[in-house]
């Protein structure tokens, strides 16, 4: 394999692994901050135990998210140096702003939260978690602004053989990036909510810590319900914008080959990229794609054949990641609406609880596939319409990349296994036996429990 392919594999593996942890950090931090605030306001000790239980899981996840994120920034230099030199003027500054304005805050304050139980008042300690949550989500804004620029470059001119910044405001207020933000953040909140609901359901099924987990479930349920409905509406706006800015991606998402009006949606398709058609098409409904893309049943939608072969994204991956994401995205509001009607009878709804335990991985699958869609669907471009991925890689030896790729698989494989083991162990163990206050408190309050 060549350097480009190896580097793509490595970046994909590193990003997708990193992204197993980021959404939970974003979603769970807000939920925990809310729980801790409830504790400060009510003085109810259950909220404190809740905060500490979810906090423990949060910290395992957080550690993995942080360390896997560090490599990503540097991979632009190690593996994509031609890209970095070409767009650093814009893309690099967004990453640098993310570090200075947000990531610093998040990393410093998480240390304070972990070790500060005795050093700070309850109120200040809860505020620290809000800072962590806010800073994490701020980070996401800048990262998504950077990605949004790769999807739909704006505010630049080509000068001195590279893309140079001409309009910073245009970059920051890039509509594509803003839509990505309002898609990604709710997705992360949904994931956090399903994580909390699923683990709570596990304990409720075992009839342990019923009070604590019923309340946890309900808090998460509200988050899940609100954002899973929001994301459906936002997803539609996002789709319209993709139709406008990345027509080739839209065509691949729908395996749509022929340009035409009243473009159909095909419920199930297996594309045949070689012969520019679909091998199997089931359930063709005319006009729907035109409507989804342009909110007009008669609108013309460009088909894949309209684009030169070498400028089409891989159709199969784009199509299936989009379909699966949408299917799951439809399931989440249904599950949370059912939950809303059962919220006062959770203990009498074992089937629903069981489903919610098994639903934990679903938002993970949806959110990972969402990124596969965004990134693979943008191919062959690394910056849409501006630079091809094949022109972006570093002039390094393939063996070097092969070794680092193997290193990534080994290290991430081991970390993934250890992390999953610890998450499962702590999630199953639950919040520890209820009050005999002094003992529990001491154990929980000691930073040692989490750090040494």
Partner 1 sequence: MVLQSIWFFLWGLLWALFFMTDGFDFGVGTLYPFLGKTDYDKRVMINSIGPFWDGNEVWLITAGGVTFAAFPLVYAVMFSSLYSALMLILFALILRGVAFEFRGHVDDPRWRKVWDVCIFVGSFTPALLFGVAFANIFQGIPFDRQGVYHGTLLTLLNPYGLLGGVFFLCLFLVHGALWLTVKTEGDLHERSVSAAGKLWGVLLLVAVSFLIASAYSTRLYDNYVAHPVLFSVILITVAALVGVRVYLAKGAFFKAWLASALTIVGSIFFGIIGLFPALFPSSIKAKYSLTAFNASSSPLTLKIMLIVVILFIPIVVAYQIWTYHLFKGKVMEEDLEY
Q: Rule CB under 8 A: which of 130-169 touch partner 1?
A: 159-160, 162, 164-166, 168
Task: Specify the pairing of strand 162-165 against strand 156-159.
Answer: antiparallel
Q: Give least dist CB 209 to partner 1, A.
A: 20
Q: Give least dist CB 80 to partner 1, A.
A: 8
Q: Give least dist CB 63 to partner 1, A.
A: 4
Of the candidate residues 26, 30, 46, 110, the single one contacting partner 1 (CB under 8 A): 110
Angle at 218 between CA 212 and CA 224, to 5 degrees: 135
By residue count, the chain amounts to: 452
Q: Give least dist CB 126 to partner 1, A.
A: 16
Strand partners, 387: 383
CA-closest candidate to residue 246, choices 378, 382, 386: 378
Residues 90-109 that bind partner 1 (CB under 8 A): 90-93, 95-101, 103-105, 107-109
Nearer Cβ to partner 1, position 13 or 299?
A: 13
Of the candidate residues 25, 68, 151, 216, the single one contacting partner 1 (CB under 8 A): 68
Max Cα distance, the chain (Å): 72
What stretches of 1-103 show up as alpha helix (H) in DSSP?
Answer: 3-18, 22-42, 45-78, 81-98
SS (H, E, C) 275-313: CCEEEEEEEEECCHHHHHHHCCCCCCECCHHHCCHHHCC
Concatenating the DSSP letter of every residue in 124-161 gives: HHHHHHHHHHHHHHHHHHHHHHHHHHHHS--SEEEETT
Concatenating the DSSP letter of every residue in 376-417 gives: HTTTTEEETTTEEGGGTS-S--HHHHHHHHHHHHHHHHHHHH
Nearer Cβ to partner 1, position 316 or 450?
A: 450
Nearer Cβ to partner 1, position 137 or 404?
A: 404
Residues 239-298 that bind partner 1 (CB under 8 A): none
Q: Give least dist CB 67 to partner 1, A.
A: 4
Q: Give least dist CB 430 to partner 1, A.
A: 15
**Token reading at 449:** 């429990």
**DSSP assignment letter at 347:** G
**Cβ atoms of residues 374 and 144 within 8 Å:** no
Q: Give least dist CB 386 to partner 1, A.
A: 15
To which H or E segment does residue 230 belong? helix 210-245
Nearer Cβ to partner 1, position 160 or 275?
A: 160
Residues 353-382 that bind partner 1 (CB under 8 A): none
Tell me if 205 contacts partner 1 by CB under 8 A: no
Residues 74-93 that bind partner 1 (CB under 8 A): 74, 76-79, 81-82, 84-85, 87-93
**Token reading at 100:** 């200075």
Nearer Cβ to partner 1, position 79 or 278?
A: 79
- Taking CB under 8 A as the binding criterion, the range among 42-50, 207-215, 270-278, 411-419 that sits at the site for partner 1 is 411-419
To which H or E segment does residue 329 belong? helix 315-342
Nearer Cβ to partner 1, position 132 or 360?
A: 132
Residues 168-197 that bind partner 1 (CB under 8 A): 168
Q: How far is CA 220 from the centre of its chain?
A: 18
- Taking CB under 8 A as the binding criterion, the range among 62-70, 185-193, 208-216, 338-346 that sits at the site for partner 1 is 62-70
Nearer Cβ to partner 1, position 34 or 412?
A: 412
Of the candidate residues 286, 350, 361, 407, the single one contacting partner 1 (CB under 8 A): 407
Residues 422-451 that bind partner 1 (CB under 8 A): 422, 425-426, 442-443, 446-451
| Residues touching partner 1, count (CB under 8 A) | 79
Measured CA to CA, the distance from residue 311 to residue 366 in angstroms comes to: 26
Residues 21-60 that bind partner 1 (CB under 8 A): 59-60
Residues 304-333 that bind partner 1 (CB under 8 A): none
Of the candidate residues 16, 63, 288, 316, the single one contacting partner 1 (CB under 8 A): 63
Q: Give least dist CB 274 to partner 1, A.
A: 35
CA-closest candidate to residue 315, choices 260, 387, 253: 253
């Amino acid at each position: 394999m060549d350097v480009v392919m190896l580097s793509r594999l490595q970046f994909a593996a590193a990003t997708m692994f990193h992204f197993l942890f980021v959404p939970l950090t974003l979603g769970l931090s807000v939920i925990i901050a809310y729980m801790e605030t409830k504790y400060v306001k009510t003085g109810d000790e259950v909220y404190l135990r809740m905060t500490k239980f979810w906090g423990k899981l949060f910290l395992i996840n957080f550690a993995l998210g942080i360390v896997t994120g560090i490599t990503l920034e540097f991979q632009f230099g190690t593996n994509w140096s031609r890209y970095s030199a070409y767009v650093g003027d814009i893309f690099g500054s967004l990453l640098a702003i993310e570090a200075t304005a947000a990531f610093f805050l998040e990393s410093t304050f998480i240390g304070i939260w972990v070790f500060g139980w005795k050093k700070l008042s309850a109120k200040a300690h809860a505020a620290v978690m809000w800072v962590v949550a806010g800073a994490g989500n701020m980070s996401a804004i800048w990262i998504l602004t950077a990605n949004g620029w790769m999807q739909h470059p704006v505010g630049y001119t080509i000068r001195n053989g590279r893309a140079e910044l001409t309009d910073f405001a245009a970059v920051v207020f890039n509509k594509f990036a803003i839509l990505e933000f309002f898609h990604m953040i709710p997705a992360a909140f949904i994931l956090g909510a399903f994580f909390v609901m699923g683990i709570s359901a596990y304990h409720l099924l075992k009839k342990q810590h019923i009070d604590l987990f019923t309340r946890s479930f309900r808090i998460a349920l509200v988050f899940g319900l609100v954002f899973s409905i929001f994301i459906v509406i936002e997803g539609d706006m996002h789709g319209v914008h993709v139709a406008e800015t990345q027509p080739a991606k839209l065509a691949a998402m729908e395996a749509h080959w022929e340009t035409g009006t009243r473009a159909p949606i095909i419920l199930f398709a297996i594309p045949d990229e070689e012969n520019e058609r679909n091998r199997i098409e089931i359930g063709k409904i005319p006009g729907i794609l035109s409507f989804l893309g342009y909110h007009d049943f008669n609108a013309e939608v460009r088909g894949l054949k309209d684009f030169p072969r070498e400028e089409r994204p891989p159709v199969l991956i784009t199509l299936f990641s989009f379909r699966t994401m949408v299917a799951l995205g439809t399931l989440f509001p249904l599950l949370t609406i059912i939950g809303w009607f059962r919220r006062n009878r959770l203990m009498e709804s074992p089937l629903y609880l069981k489903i919610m335990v098994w639903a934990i991985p679903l938002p993970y699958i949806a959110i990972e596939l969402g990124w596969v869609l965004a990134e693979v669907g943008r191919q062959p471009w690394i910056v849409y319409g501006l630079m091809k991925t094949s022109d972006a890689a570093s002039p390094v030896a393939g063996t070097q990349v092969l070794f680092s790729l193997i290193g990534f698989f080994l290290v991430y494989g081991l970390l993934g296994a250890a992390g999953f083991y610890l998450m499962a162990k702590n999630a199953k163990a639950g919040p520890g036996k209820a009050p005999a206050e002094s003992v529990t408190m001491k154990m929980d309050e000691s930073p040692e429990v989490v750090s040494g």
